[in-house]
């Protein structure tokens, strides 16, 4: 036992206790920090999640929702206040960071400015006592994989932003970790470079099969990279699902509003029964230039599911692509036609966003690119109730 303990105290001689992370299991993980007035701030709140072997899962949420803290807990850089983490079936309680087969890529490149790209790529291997031959082979292989061969002898100041980020990624990959944690690694890059690096990370994952947890506040990155996406808010996990299921089957109001651009349109109202049919009736607003509140019939399947909510307040949600102009479409019953005032037109290239108002409430519709519209024009719209979402205004859960 003494020899084992002494070996672990020597960083150069310490070998990871995990030979290839197969699976990450997080159970009731909690981390509390003291607030400015001494109050308890739950940065991570009872988080439970399993990341499968070889999976690339994206964690997304607004700044301060606990994503980075959760990564640091997995890496061993923070001690949890409750719950546990296991990597490859081994509990990580009291296991120091150097003995976890985990590599981490941060938002800032964190490269050593006095070292060349070659030296930065091999620095982690050098600390782990790799032989010069093995280190040179791994650096060469990683550089070829990331197309860095021509700039290995340059220092970070002589590299582009994308090259610096690839060196930071390559430094982690050269270790051949079983788990790679990426903490908003592309946020400092411009839009074209982010697009290129997203494709690069996806390609590397397919090639290497490493388990990856990708943290971002950018829903586009999450939707394009993650086979599954975990949405967090205020330290708590809101929903874990595929990109399609998150978009079309949100678990609650926060997920529905956070996932999707432009954001979902929301209308407060009640469900009312009329002649054996269920209608959504909008709460009257203020300053409505168009007389009358919304009164929209629910689809029969939706009405059957929500029959128990008749007479109760709800929030109606509709994605912008499910709000259509009447022109050029088959005639719609008057009950489904909505009048609104066009406030602004936002050409987006492949499509146009129409900012509309009625009853003092604002919402957005998508239109085809090149469609001519005039500001302050009155439009007749169809709300596609086949795609409607309903939420409980108190619990904010999807109905």
* Domain end marker among 227, 258, 289: 258
Q: How far apart are CA 180 and CA 87, in angstroms?
A: 12
- Asked if residues 51 and 211 have their Cβ atoms less than 8 Å apart, the reply is yes
Q: Report how far Cα 191 is from the mean position of its chain's Cα atoms.
A: 17
Question: Could you tell me whether strands 351-358 and 361-368 are parallel, antiparallel, or unpaired per DSSP bridges?
Answer: antiparallel
Whole-structure pTM value:
0.86
Q: Is 220 contained in some domain? A: yes
Q: How many domains is the chain partitioned into structurally?
A: 2
Q: Is 377 contained in some domain? A: yes
* Domain end marker among 223, 258, 293: 258
DSSP code at position 16 = P
In terms of domains, do 242 and 295 share one? no
* Domain end marker among 258, 273, 296: 258
Q: Which residues pair with 317 in a beta bridge?
A: 266, 389
Q: Is 323 contained in some domain? A: yes
Q: What is the reported pLDDT for 1?
A: 34
In terms of domains, do 243 and 282 share one? no
Q: What is the largest CA-CA distance in the chain?
A: 83
Q: What is the reported pLDDT for 373?
A: 82
Q: What is the reported pLDDT for 323?
A: 93
Residue 352 in tokens: 């146009």
In terms of domains, do 342 and 210 share one? no
In terms of domains, do 288 and 373 share one? yes
What lies within 8 Å, CB to CB, of 190 at 6+ separation is 161
Write out the H or E segment, with its range, that includes residue 236.
Answer: strand 236-241
Q: Report how far Cα 324 is from the mean position of its chain's Cα atoms.
A: 28
Q: Is 322 contained in some domain? A: yes
- Asked if residues 46 and 133 have their Cβ atoms less than 8 Å apart, the reply is no
Q: What is the reported pLDDT for 32?
A: 96
Q: Is 297 contained in some domain? A: yes
In terms of domains, do 377 and 252 share one? no
Q: Quick check: helix, strand or coil at residue 183?
A: strand
3-state helix/strand/coil string of 67-85? HHHHHHHHHCCCCCCEEEE
In terms of domains, do 358 and 301 share one? yes
Q: How far apart are CA 34 and CA 29, in angstroms?
A: 17
- CATH value at residue 216: 3.40.50.300
- Asked if residues 338 and 383 have their Cβ atoms less than 8 Å apart, the reply is yes
Per residue of the chain (399 residues), give pLDDT as tens: 333 323 222 333 344 444 456 799 999 999 999 988 888 899 999 999 999 999 999 999 999 999 999 999 999 999 999 999 999 899 999 899 988 889 999 888 789 899 999 999 998 888 888 888 998 999 999 999 888 999 999 999 999 888 898 899 999 988 888 899 999 988 888 888 888 889 889 988 988 889 999 999 999 999 999 999 999 999 999 999 999 999 999 999 999 999 999 999 999 999 999 888 899 998 865 444 445 678 899 998 999 999 999 999 999 999 999 998 887 555 555 556 788 999 999 998 889 999 999 888 899 999 888 777 888 999 999 999 999 999 999 999 999
- CATH value at residue 303: 2.40.50.140
In terms of domains, do 285 and 379 share one? yes
Sheet hosting strand 102-105, strand order edge to edge: 102-105, 179-183, 211-216, 56-60, 228-233, 236-241
- Asked if residues 221 and 194 have their Cβ atoms less than 8 Å apart, the reply is yes
Neighbours of 159 (CB within 10 A): 20
In terms of domains, do 96 and 229 share one? yes
Q: Is 113 contained in some domain? A: no
Helix axes 132-145, 161-173, angle to 10 degrees: 130
In terms of domains, do 186 and 330 share one? no
- Asked if residues 223 and 243 have their Cβ atoms less than 8 Å apart, the reply is yes
- Asked if residues 341 and 358 have their Cβ atoms less than 8 Å apart, the reply is yes
DSSP string, 344-382: EEEE-SSEEEEEEEETTEEEEEEEETT----TT-EEEEE
Find the domain containing 14 and state its range: 2-101+177-258
Q: Is 129 contained in some domain? A: no
In terms of domains, do 185 and 281 share one? no
**Cis preceding linkage at 262, omega within 30:** yes
In terms of domains, do 248 and 305 share one? no
In terms of domains, do 292 and 376 share one? yes
């Amino acid at each position: 036992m003494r020899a084992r303990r002494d070996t672990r105290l020597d960083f150069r001689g310490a070998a990871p206790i995990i030979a290839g992370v197969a699976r990450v299991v997080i159970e009731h993980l909690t981390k509390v920090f003291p607030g400015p007035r001494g109050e308890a701030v739950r940065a991570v709140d009872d988080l439970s999640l399993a990341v499968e072997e070889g999976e690339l899962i994206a964690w997304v949420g607004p700044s301060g929702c606990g994503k980075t803290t959760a990564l640091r807990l997995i890496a061993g850089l923070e001690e949890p206040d409750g719950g546990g983490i296991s990597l490859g079936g081994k509990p990580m309680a009291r296991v120091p960071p150097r003995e976890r087969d985990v590599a981490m890529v941060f938002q800032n490149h964190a490269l050593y400015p006095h070292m060349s790209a070659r030296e930065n790529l091999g620095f982690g291997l050098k600390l782990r006592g790799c032989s010069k031959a093995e280190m040179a082979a791994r650096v060469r292989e990683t550089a070829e994989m990331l197309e860095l061969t021509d700039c290995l002898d340059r220092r970070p100041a002589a590299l582009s932003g994308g090259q610096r980020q690839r060196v930071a990624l390559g430094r982690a990959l050269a270790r051949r970790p079983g788990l790679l944690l990426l903490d908003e690694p592309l946020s400092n890059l411009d839009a074209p470079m982010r697009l290129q690096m997203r494709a690069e990370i996806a390609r590397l994952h397919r090639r290497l099969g490493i388990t990856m947890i990708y943290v971002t506040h950018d829903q586009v990155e999450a939707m394009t990279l993650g086979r599954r996406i975990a949405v967090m808010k205020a330290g708590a996990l809101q929903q874990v699902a595929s990109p399609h299921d998150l978009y079309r089957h949100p678990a609650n109001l926060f997920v529905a509003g956070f996932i999707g651009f432009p954001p979902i349109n929301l209308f407060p109202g009640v469900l009312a029964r009329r002649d054996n049919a269920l209608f959504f009736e909008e709460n009257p607003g203020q300053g409505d230039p168009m007389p009358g509140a919304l009164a929209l019939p629910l689809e029969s399947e939706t009405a059957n599911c929500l029959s128990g909510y008749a007479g109760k307040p709800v929030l109606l949600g509709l994605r912008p692509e499910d709000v259509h102009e009447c022109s050029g479409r088959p005639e719609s019953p008057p009950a489904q036609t909505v009048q609104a005032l066009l406030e602004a037109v936002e050409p987006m290239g492949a499509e146009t966003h129409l900012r509309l108002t009625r009853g003092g409430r604002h919402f957005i519709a998508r239109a085809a690119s090149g469609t001519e519209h005039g500001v302050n024009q009155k439009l007749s719209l169809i709300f596609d109730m086949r795609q409607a979402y309903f939420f409980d205004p108190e619990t904010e859960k999807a109905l």
